[in-house]
Structure 1
């Protein structure tokens, strides 16, 4: 089994979901008492990352994330996972710092949508993932149209993430608001909603909405398991 390095803590609540889901997926695939070989660098979200969001100092964020990647490589990681959609804004800094494969949440989710025949979607996430080219590009490159949210909805989704979910708080009123948003998107002929923030699944029931909802945390965790066990699968196929 390959050892995966996870840059987490952005936020701790979603990193805990990754740890749980990756281990469960490995145990389900291999059986017995098997678990995932992981090394985790957990950031202090406020000091190490969110403060750079507010100041716009993305070069500073690049240095923090690249440093975490280097420490994971030194600890024996053979590949990396950035346990946050927004953290993929820093992915090029990681690639420049370490020569390791990255399990990219954007590419994996976009491929899943394409395979499912989804051609018009909505991205829900931080203000960065909803509007910036680094987040939207992998979808648009596959011919997927992204429905624009109005400024009020973008601000509210961003607020729910930073003021509530990133701190582990789920507020009932915010759950209702997100359900209302998804209902509005269905009326705009959107075919699917992508939870392009790893905490949003805490507030959105992926099984009880008027549109298909793609949980990027679950999709990413599953892809991580597949990458970790790829050598075993190849050996089994060759036997």
Structure 2
């Protein structure tokens, strides 16, 4: 048997299907983190078996802001079906906001769905946290689809006041999703974190996959729970589960 055939025989990794493009700026981070994690665990020439379906964010964003969630659902469920047809063994939705439609996706395909809230809540519990701040899009901060799952894990979740939410939301869509990173916008986020700390937050969840493009731990007095990183690490665990 050739060494190439031996490698194929010995690889027991599972294939993840990534629904990305919302925005692709953060989808790149998923691809990077997952592959770096597999390489770190298995060796310098190893990489992750991944399928990526990257949607056109324009129609999704329009549907979000118009409240046409059924249209956005159709796009994501189609993506999930395509990934299943391509051989994906689980679905990772590379965005916090669109987890509002997690139920639609799980109904559309009979594959494990790695929910972004699960590794975030698990990490918060491991760190002994009781009260956390949540930053993200206005959809994520105002609607219960993410908060409720965190609160079900005995976490108190604080969000900024609505006027501040609007400013944070605008930075995500007008700047970070377009690959624009500005120091002035980082200061807006830092002030929001300071205000959450003053209200009792022990840590802050970066509940939008773009925020970590702008804000790292060095910029925050509070510990940061980066949902992108934690979600990608959960994907690595799933991929390598068969490797023993």
Q: Same fold (TM over 0.5)?
A: yes
- Per-residue CA deviations over 1:10-66 (Å, capped at 9, x if unaligned) read 00100000001100000000003110000100011112x111111100011111100
Q: Which moved more, 1:191-200 or 1:179-188?
A: 179-188
- Answer with 6-15 or 142-151: which moved more: 142-151
What corresponds to 2:28 in structure 1? Answer: 16
Partner of 2:225: 214
SS of equivalent residue, structure 1 residue 91: helix
1:43 and 2:49 matched? no
Match of 1:102 in 2: 113
Alignment match of 1:192 (pick from 187, 191, 203): 203
Give the alignment of 1:118-197 within 5 angstroms: 118-197=129-208
Shift of residue 82, structure 1, vs aligned partner: 0.2
Q: Kindly state the Cα deviation for residue 207 of structure 1 after the two structures are TM-superposed.
A: 3.2
Q: Any conservation in 1 of the 2:204–2:222 contact (CA below 8 Å)?
A: yes
Aligned equivalents of 2:73 and 2:217: distance in 1?
32
The answer as to whether partners of 1:122 and 1:148 remain within 8 angstroms in 2 is yes
TM-score by length of 1: 0.95
Matching residue of 2:43: 31
d(CA) in 1 for partners of 2:200, 2:71: 40
Do 1:207 and 1:213's aligned partners in 2 also have CA atoms closer than 8 Å?
no
Pair 1:232-2:232 in alignment: no
Q: CA deviation at 1:114?
A: 1.4
Q: Give the distance between the partners of 2:92 and 2:16, measured in 1 at CA.
A: 7
* 75, 79, 104: which one aligns with 2:86: 75
In the TM superposition, residue 80 of structure 1 has moved relative to its aligned partner by 0.7
Out of 89, 105, 108, which is 2:100 matched to? 89
Q: Which ranges of structure 2 fall in alignment gaps of 5 or more residues?
A: 1-12
C-alpha distance in 1 between matches for 2:144 and 2:44? 43
